[in-house]
Structure formats: structure tokens, C-alpha cells
Amino acid sequence: MIKCEHPQHKTKPKYICKESDGCSERKNPGVQDEWMENGDVSLYDDTRAGVLMVFFRELKAADAGTYRCGVNVSHYTESFTELQLNIRHDAKYPKSVTESAHLGEEVNITCQIPEEHEVHFCKEDDNHICQNINSSKVTQMNGSSERNEERVFTVIISNVSVRDAGVYWCGAETRDTYLTFISLTTKIQLNFTIQINSNDNQPTIPSDGLLYAAVTFQKREESLSDATVRFSKDEIQSDYTMISHNMRLN
């Protein structure tokens, strides 16, 4: 992702083009303050911050080159910043991992980035755009790795809920005066699981099947006698209980 800042022209329409192609194709959102797709990139013209965000969904070697990130000040005037996009192949990236957590638990997500860069952590939305996370549930912690050239970065998400499931990315962020480059290198798929205790509300009598009981009461004009209890078990392994009790009417 590339962020181009135009603080003096926040509400003016912004664009990006590739100078090595003669800037023949200017990519712009067409609308402001919402994400729009234009070819193989997604763009967002943020009029409040005066920033054009350009998200390359699948970066290719052919995307390398010199770009012009500009703003149309008027029909005759424009302002732009040149930037150089270099693409380096690294066998370690992109990396993909999967994390699972029970609802209500805490999950730790760990990433490694080059030491000289800032860390960027975001979550994909429904349009597959990685958005910054603003939540009190998310805590970010810096650490160190065994190798000095890398930094360990840990994100802690507490009290995991259904909304927290999804795709997260972490990567390196580099800033210049009016430019920000974000390289997303590690994809994290966070899944949630629901834990069900199979012993809840189950009979304490050891049995492989369900227990059924049938009770019958009969009144007879005979002398009072002790109650008799008879147990029988049929071929399908179900237990039946029958109770007969003789009573004398007054």
C-alpha cells in the first residue's frame, strides 16, 4: 500500500500514474471518501486527511518503476510527488499462518519484520482492503529476536468474539515527508471455536444409551403388602423399571 499526502489540497481530486509508461493511464477513484477498484489496484481519496491511498492487491514484478502521485489543483495546474517502487523477491514472504481461539479467550499473534522499519498491523474488510484496527481489545507489544536484523512484534487480542475472526496482515512501514510505504508480508487467518462440554446435564448413571423409566400404580381391595420392584432389560440395551404397589381401601 502507498499513501500520498496532499495537506494543502485535501478536497481536490487525486491520482496516481506510472511515469515509465508516460503517465498515459491515470488511476483515480472517481469518487471521494470511499474505496474504489481501478484495474489491479484499489484507491481511496480521503478528503479529511488529504491522503490518496493506493492498495496493490497482488503486487507483480511489472509493477516496479517510477510513479507520480498527484492532485489536480485546477484545470491548468497540478501538484505531484515522484516515488520509486522497488520490488524485491524474498523466499520467506509472503508467509501465511493460522491461529485458533475459543470465544472469550486471549490470542497472541506474532510477526517478524526488519529492524529498521515500523510495524503495520491491519485487518481485511469485506472488500479485501486491510484497514487499521482501532480497538481497546488489541494490545501491541515490541520485542526482540535472536537475530538483530529482525524485530518480533506481538499483537494480543483479548476476549475473542465472532467479530474478531477473519484475515489479518502484518508488515513493514516506511515513511517519508509526504509518502508512506506499507509492505504486508505475513497473513494471519484467525478462526474461533466454540467449546461444548458433552457432560453437561447428562445422567450420572454409566450407560451408553438413554435411560427410560415407566412407573405404574394400581389400587386393589386387598391387604396391604410390601411394594415389589422388578427390573428388566430388553435386546436394545434400554433399561425399564416397573413398580407395583398394593393398597387396601378404607
Regarding whether 179 and 118 lie in a shared domain, the answer is: yes
Regarding whether 117 and 144 lie in a shared domain, the answer is: yes
C-alpha cell at position 28: 483515480
* Segment 178-236, tens digit of pLDDT: 999 999 988 999 998 876 665 555 555 554 444 444 444 444 444 444 444 444 444 44
Q: What angle do CA 182, 188, 194 make, to 5 degrees?
A: 145
Q: Domain total for the chain?
A: 3
Residue 133 lies in a domain: yes
Residue 180 lies in a domain: yes
Report whether 237 contacts 209 (CB < 8 A): yes
* Segment 94-134, tens digit of pLDDT: 788 898 888 888 888 888 887 778 888 899 998 888 988 87
Residue 167 lies in a domain: yes
Residue 201 lies in a domain: no
Regarding whether 160 and 140 lie in a shared domain, the answer is: yes
Backbone angles phi, psi at 197, to 5 degrees: -85, 110
Place of cell 427390573: 231
Residue 166 lies in a domain: yes
Closest CA to 171 of 147, 146, 151: 151
* Segment 20-64, tens digit of pLDDT: 888 888 999 889 999 999 888 999 999 999 999 999 988 888 999
Domain of 245 in residue numbering reads as 209-250
**CATH number of the domain residue 188 falls in:** 2.60.40.10
Regarding whether 188 and 229 lie in a shared domain, the answer is: no
Regarding whether 183 and 137 lie in a shared domain, the answer is: yes
Contacts of 101 (CB under 8 A, 6+ apart): 107, 157, 160, 190, 191, 192, 193
Where does a domain end: 18, 50, 85? 85
Integer CA distances (angstroms), 53 to 14, 46, 69, in order: 10, 8, 10
> 92 or 209, which is more confident?
92
State residue 66's pLDDT score.
94
* Segment 141-166, tens digit of pLDDT: 665 544 456 678 888 888 888 889 99
Integer CA distances (angstroms), 195 to 18, 100, 150, 192, in order: 52, 12, 37, 10
State residue 169's pLDDT score.
92
